[in-house]
Amino acid sequence: MDIFTEDYAKQQDEQDPLRRFRDSFVIPTKSDLARKTLAPSTSHEAGQDEQSIYLCGNSLGLQPTLTRKYMQQYLDTWASKGVYGHFKEIEDSNLAPWLHVDDDVVEDMAKVVGALPSEVAVMQTLTANLHLMLASFYRPTQKRYKIILEGKAFPSDHYAVESHIRHHDLVPADAMVLIEPESPASPILSTHYIMSIIDKHAEETALLLLPGVQFYTGQLFDMVTITAYAKMKGIVVGWDLAHAVGNAAMELHDWDVDFAVWCTYKYLNCGPGSIGGAFVHERHGKVKETEGDNGQSKLEYRPRLSGWWGSSKSSRFAMDNHFNPIPGAAGFQLSNPSVADTTALRASLDIFKQTDMAELRQKSIRITKYLEKLLDRVAGEQEQCFTIITPRNPDERGAQLSVALKPGMLDSVMESLEEAGVVVDERRPDVIRVAPAPLYNTFHDVFLFAKHFQHACAKAIEGKGAQGQSVMGDGGREDRGWSEIK
Asked whether the beta carbons of 203 and 240 are under 8 A apart, the reply is: no
Contact between residue 202 and residue 144 where contact means Cβ atoms under 8 Å apart: no
Work out how close the CB of 457 gets to ligand PLP at its nearest, in angstroms, rounded to a whole number: 27
Q: For residues 481 and 6, is the Cβ–Cβ distance under 8 A?
A: yes
Residue 417 within binding range of ligand PLP, rule CB under 6 A: no
First to last CA, the chain: 16
Give the nearest distance from C-beta 176 to ligand PLP in angstroms.
Answer: 16
Backbone angles phi, psi at 388, to 5 degrees: -90, 125
Q: Which is nearer to ligand PLP, 60 or 385 (CB)?
A: 60
Smallest gap from residue 146 Cβ to ligand PLP (A): 21
Among 104, 119, 240, 430, binds ligand PLP (CB under 6 A): 240
Residue 405, Cα to own-chain centre: how many angstroms? 24
- Give a three-class secondary structure readout of 141-175: CCCCCEEEEECCCCHHHHHHHHHHHHHCCCCHHHH
- 36 CB neighbour count, 10 Å cutoff: 5
Q: Which is nearer to ligand PLP, 126 or 450 (CB)?
A: 126
Shortest Cβ 223–ligand PLP spacing (Å): 14
Report the run of H or E that residue 340 belongs to, with start and end: helix 339-352
Check binding of 242 to ligand PLP (CB under 6 A). yes
How many Å apart are CA 120 and CA 253, to the nearest integer?
Answer: 10
Q: Which range of residues in 38-46, 87-95, 239-247, 397-405 is near ligand PLP by CB under 6 A?
A: 239-247
Minimum CB separation from ligand PLP for residue 134, in Å? 13
If one asks whether residue 258 binds ligand PLP (CB under 6 A), the answer comes out as no
| Closest separation in Å from C-beta 226 to ligand PLP | 16
Using the Cα atoms of residue 264, residue 265, residue 268 and residue 270 in order, give the sign of their dihedral: positive
Using CB under 6 A, which of the segments 30-38, 183-191, 235-243, 313-321 binds ligand PLP?
235-243
Q: Does residue number 260 form part of the binding site for ligand PLP (CB under 6 A)?
A: no
Site for ligand PLP (CB under 6 A): how many residues?
Answer: 12
Least gap, CB of 215 to ligand PLP (angstroms) = 4
- In 3D space, the residue among 107, 24, 22 whose CA is nearest the CA of residue 67 turns out to be 24
User: What track of x and - describes contact with ligand PLP for positions 149 through 178 (by CB under 6 A)?
Assistant: -----x-xx---------------------
Tell me if 127 contacts ligand PLP by CB under 6 A: yes
In 203-258, beta strands by DSSP E: 205-211, 236-240
Q: 255, 249, 199, 195: which is closest to 224 by C-alpha? A: 255
102 vs 157 by CB, closer to ligand PLP:
157
Q: Which residues bind ligand PLP (CB under 6 A)?
A: 125-127, 154, 156-157, 211, 215, 240, 242-243, 263
